[in-house]
Amino acid sequence: MSGSASSSNGQVEKDLKALQQRAGQILKARPAYKEMVDFYLTVFRRQIEWRHRLVVHPQTVDDDQRRECLGHGQPLLERYDPGIDAQSLLDLWTEMKKVFGRGNQVLRQAVDKIESAEQAGDFLPATWLLEQRPGRYELVAEAGRQIGIDESLLATLARAVTLPHWQMVAQNWLPNDGLEEWKRFRCPTCGGPPGLAELCTEPGGSEGLAPSPRRFMHCPFCGSRWVVPGLKCPACQSTREGDAKYYYTPEEPELRIEFCKSCHHYIKVLSTEGIRARLHVGLELLTTAHLDAMAQEKNLKPLETYS
Ligand SMILES: [Zn+2]
Ligand SMILES: [Zn+2]
């Protein structure tokens, strides 16, 4: 085995282990998600295991180009070609259909309907997957109607396939998440809205500085993570004193909903003290769904409805 193959295997093992550990940690705190997590861990594992098979050749973006593009307020995808291969999407699609087809009855029936539509030539998944972009929700809605299955289910299946491809684009274009020239709340890679905020307290420097909390945003479409200024509304940009509010329950001190009194948009916030591995955004979003339900009860709006 070549050196690079064995080291990439090592990385896969490491990532699978980190995923398993984090899932265990979450289930200890939120056991109600057990069934869901058990199923989706198979999906997430497949995404990690398939990483070396995916074909993605993003256009080269050097440091100067990155700085120039982001400095003009443009996400990199508006200027550069992500170079995602259609056949690669189709291969993972075929694999993910198998995984979903082994799920519950609703998933099995949905996969059957998708396959019938594909065989009849009514639905072309490769082109459709290639066209997926943040904000192009109509692509999923139209296909869902055409095939006759639930839109959110089809979105989940599509994301399972596209996310690992886009993660490779993001890793290539945005190797470090500490981008000082990007202070916006849309994703610097793909331009999509963030799905989750992370509050991370890093240890102070060697000169005995106090630990400084950093606020990151996570993109559910491409998996990018980037730094944003604190106390600013991600939707209306309000920095007015008293606009930023939050809800949390004493049982889950690490989780909260941050919302803006002015525009009523909210974002889920996870405090990651004590979590060492980089977050798997899919797992975190899945296991914080009760916060979305809570936000809905309080008439708050998710960020996707903005823009
Ligand atoms: Zn993104
Ligand atoms: Zn606002």
Length of the chain as a residue count: 307
CA of 228 to the centre of ligand 2 (A): 15
Q: Which ligand is nearest to the CA of 265?
A: 2
Query: What is residue 244's predicted lDDT score, i.e. its pLDDT?
Result: 87
Q: Which of 175, 170, 171 is nearest to 190 (CA)?
A: 170
Q: Which of 298, 67, 13, 43 is nearest to 188 (CA)?
A: 67
CA of 263 to the centre of ligand 2 (A): 4
DSSP state of 265: B
User: 64 with 90: CB under 8 angstroms?
Assistant: no
* Beta-sheet pairing, 266-271 with 196-202: parallel
Query: What is residue 3's predicted lDDT score, i.e. its pLDDT?
Result: 45
CA of 99 to the centre of ligand 1 (A): 25
* pLDDT per residue as tens digits for the range 147-185: 999 999 999 999 999 999 999 999 999 987 656 668 788
Which of helix, strand or coil describes residue 212?
Answer: strand
Give me the DSSP letters along 119-172: HTTS--HHHHHHH--TT-HHHHHHHHHHHTS-HHHHHHHHHHHHHHHHHHHHHH
CA of 300 to the centre of ligand 2 (A): 11
Nearest-angstrom CA–CA distance, 157 and 113:
13
Nearest-angstrom CA–CA distance, 275 and 303:
25
pTM above 0.75, yes or no: yes
CA of 1 to the centre of ligand 1 (A): 34
* pLDDT per residue as tens digits for the range 51-61: 999 999 999 99
Q: Which ligand is nearest to the CA of 300?
A: 2
Per-block average pLDDT, block size 10, for the chain (307 residues)?
Answer: 59 93 94 96 96 96 92 94 98 98 95 97 96 92 96 95 96 78 88 93 61 85 89 86 86 91 94 80 94 95 71
24 CB contacts (<8 Å, ≥6 apart)?
A: none
Query: What is residue 213's predicted lDDT score, i.e. its pLDDT?
Result: 79
Query: What is residue 2's predicted lDDT score, i.e. its pLDDT?
Result: 43
| Cα dihedral 124/130/131/134 (nearest 10) | 130
Nearest-angstrom CA–CA distance, 213 and 230:
9
Element (H, E) at 255: strand 255-260
CA of 181 to the centre of ligand 2 (A): 22
CA of 171 to the centre of ligand 1 (A): 11
Query: What is residue 179's predicted lDDT score, i.e. its pLDDT?
Result: 67
